[in-house]
Structure 1
Amino acid sequence: MSIHHALLPSRALIALGGEDWRSFLQGLITQDVETLAAGEARFAALLTPQGKLMYDLFVVGQAEGCWLEVEAEHREALIQRLKMYRLRAKAEIAADETPVSALWGGPAPAQDEWVTDPRLPGLGFRSYGASLPATDDEEDYDAHRLELGVPGPADWGFEQTYPIEANFDLLGGIDFKKGCFIGQETTSRMKRRGQIKTRMLPINFDGEGPAFGSEILAGTLRAGEVLSGMDGRAMASLRLDRISGELTADGWEVRVERPDWMAADQPPPLS
């Protein structure tokens, strides 16, 4: 099995420190950080008060403070938002230019510091400033992630999607036992009621396939929307009550796949 290592220029870091950093962050994001250990990464999100996704995060424990791995294009906006929330908390917030990379297809090399990707074992490891030469690029990593059926930022957009619809609950991105966080009421209510109507799932098709945003139809009924992807495969936002029959998108026949990592009852079995 070959090891793949790719730099991820679409990702960037924010350094968070100061004596109040844990309590400050704990009240904001979907993940518990009170028990975060140095060298450990946890997947999380910062939501709107209405419970929709703004920013996905990896929170990476350091000896003092943590790194927040975020989308590079949104880093400055997130820094400004964190400073707005800071108020009197003794927390230091600054951009960090350490490069982000991912490794998959084998064990982490001993000569570099790597953290396990907390979403799925198959996604491998994340590294910050690794000295290992790159063997692949970010497009290769995205293809690997898509092959595992894991959605990414291009799929959930900005303030458009509830985290459960993007499978954050199944990928370890929400701690339902922690205290309050922004958007918790809506998120907890969706989970508690168990009435999740829409989720992101991979779809397969022959050839180039339908474009991003194409409507997916179950007969004449809307079943969902095509999201990011490549030839033969894409992510899709799908109504779970309309995916058991034949589906088309922009004239293409599409086939829904349920990844092995999804719980047996989420979503319903496909025919």
Structure 2
Amino acid sequence: MSELIQLLEDKGLELNPEKNSILSDSSIKTQVIPLIHQRVLSVKGPDTEKFLQGQLTCDVAEVFSRGSALGAHCNIKGHMLSLFRLLKAGEEEVLLRMSQDIFDSAANNLKKYIVFSKAEASEVSDEISGLGITGPGAEALVEQFFGRAPSEDNGILPLSNGLVVRVPGNRFEIWMATAELCELLSKLPDEVSIGSTDAWVLSEIEAGIPDLREATQEAFIPQMTNFQALDGVSFKKGCYTGQEIVTRLQHRGQLKKPMYLIEVGGDKKPMAGDVITSPDKPNAGQVVISAPINGGRYKALAVIVKTLAEKGDLLLNGSEVELTDLPYELDPKLFEPK
């Protein structure tokens, strides 16, 4: 990652003091965004699929077939300890890319269970780096770089030194050896610019894709972040940690707090874990992730009590909350008492 950071600084881009976020923004619509806010865990060995299948919410066999999926690692009560995108990197290797601020605890939690498996988990963030590509020219740029692009969400294009994955919202992620990624960044056409970390997070928000931060670890059951609508949970696979709670909610429970896409104004950016209030309940909801849009306004994903969301009159840091449409629909049966 240090080679990539050096390149970004050489290009005159402004980074935060921790050097894990690009602050410089761009008005050009098609953007390439180094994913320096993510870290990568490699799980590799003959038992990789078996081990991850017994720990994660998603169908890992499908990951090995299609190439990628969202997944979560839960505690025994079904609350998410970590959330990541799985990427098939080889016949016996999966990469888990996740928010840098939950990486250490997420990796340690997985390593507790890998001891008796023929697989190893190790960080590869220094060797492998990522680029997000978003905007109207995203697919054309991928085709220009690699000859073709994955045709379906969660599909990958394997490369000799990495992979390309198509993610919801007509966007792409490229993960490859850092040196080769830096070479790619030096070949950007004039109609493409390097964008900010907030721009990528905003594209995730607009696609309705949740993420975890340290402040929200163990705060949500997967369905509270609409994970079932994103194929992040399989209800057909075998046992995994927390499965009983997650499955019971799906088939015999009632989801009372789903995730919404919201807009809000204010003097400061909403942070993960910030509380949403209503006249009827001081803790009506909680911010998942947020990003600025313009004019002192922000978009965010937030888990909110459904009855209070429908009633309206919600506040976040003293500002009125506006509900907007998600890019997918939730099964209404989840909200029915059983």
Note if contact 2:221-2:246 (Cα within 8 Å) is conserved in structure 1: yes
Q: Over residues 115-168 of structure 1, what are the superposed CA-to-partner deviations in whole Å (9 max), with x where a residue is unaligned? A: 112xx2x06112112454262121111122223443322497111111111111
Which position in structure 1 is the counterpart of 2:121?
Answer: 93
Give the secondary-structure state (helix, strand or coil) at the position aligned to 1:82: helix
Which position in structure 1 is the counterpart of 2:32?
Answer: 5
Answering whether residue 277 of structure 2 is matched by residue 216 of structure 1, we say yes
Give the secondary-structure state (helix, strand or coil) at the position aligned to 2:224: coil
TM-score, normalised to structure 2, is 0.70
Which position in structure 2 is the counterpart of 1:127?
Answer: 174
Which position in structure 2 is the counterpart of 1:254?
Answer: 321
Matches within 5 A, 1:1-271: 2-37=29-64, 40-64=67-91, 65-96=93-124, 97=126, 98-105=128-135, 106-107=138-139, 109-110=142-143, 111-112=145-146, 113-117=163-167, 120=168, 122=169, 124-129=171-176, 130=181, 131-133=183-185, 135-154=194-213, 157-206=216-265, 208=267, 211-212=270-271, 213-217=274-278, 219-222=279-282, 224-227=284-287, 228-229=289-290, 230=292, 231-249=297-315, 250-263=317-330, 265=332
The one-letter code matched in structure 2 to 1:224 is A
RMSD: 2.7
Mapped to 2, the partners of 1:27 and 1:138 lie a distance apart of: 33
Note if contact 2:79-2:222 (Cα within 8 Å) is conserved in structure 1: yes
Mapped to 1, the partners of 2:228 and 2:214 lie a distance apart of: 16
Instruction: Specify which structure has the higher proportion of helix.
Output: 2
Q: Over residues 164-189 of structure 1, what are the superposed CA-to-partner deviations in whole Å (9 max), with x where a residue is unaligned? A: 11111111111111111100000001
Mapped to 2, the partners of 1:259 and 1:141 lie a distance apart of: 17
Give the secondary-structure state (helix, strand or coil) at the position aligned to 1:145: helix
Q: CA deviation at 1:222?
A: 4.4
Number of matched residues?
A: 264
Note if contact 1:155-1:235 (Cα within 8 Å) is conserved in structure 2: no
The one-letter code matched in structure 2 to 1:262 is E
Structure 2 regions of 5+ residues with no counterpart? 1-27, 147-162, 186-192
Mapped to 2, the partners of 1:211 and 1:34 lie a distance apart of: 37
Mapped to 2, the partners of 1:55 and 1:181 lie a distance apart of: 14
Structure 1 regions of 5+ residues with no counterpart? none
Q: Over residues 186-240 of structure 1, what are the superposed CA-to-partner deviations in whole Å (9 max), with x where a residue is unaligned? A: 00011112510001212223454785424321x4344723524332433322111
The one-letter code matched in structure 2 to 1:142 is V
Compared with structure 1, are the counterparts of its residues 81 and 223 closer, same or farther at alpha carbon in structure 2 (3 Å cutoff)? Answer: closer
Note if contact 1:60-1:66 (Cα within 8 Å) is conserved in structure 2: yes
* Deviating more after overlay: 176-185 vs 225-234: 225-234
The one-letter code matched in structure 2 to 1:242 is L
Give the secondary-structure state (helix, strand or coil) at the position aligned to 2:55: coil
Note if contact 1:50-1:183 (Cα within 8 Å) is conserved in structure 2: yes
Q: Where has structure 1 moved over 6 Å in runs of 4 or more?
A: none
Give the secondary-structure state (helix, strand or coil) at the position aligned to 2:332: coil
Q: Over residues 46-89 of structure 1, what are the superposed CA-to-partner deviations in whole Å (9 max), with x where a residue is unaligned? A: 00011101111211112232211122233333333333212321
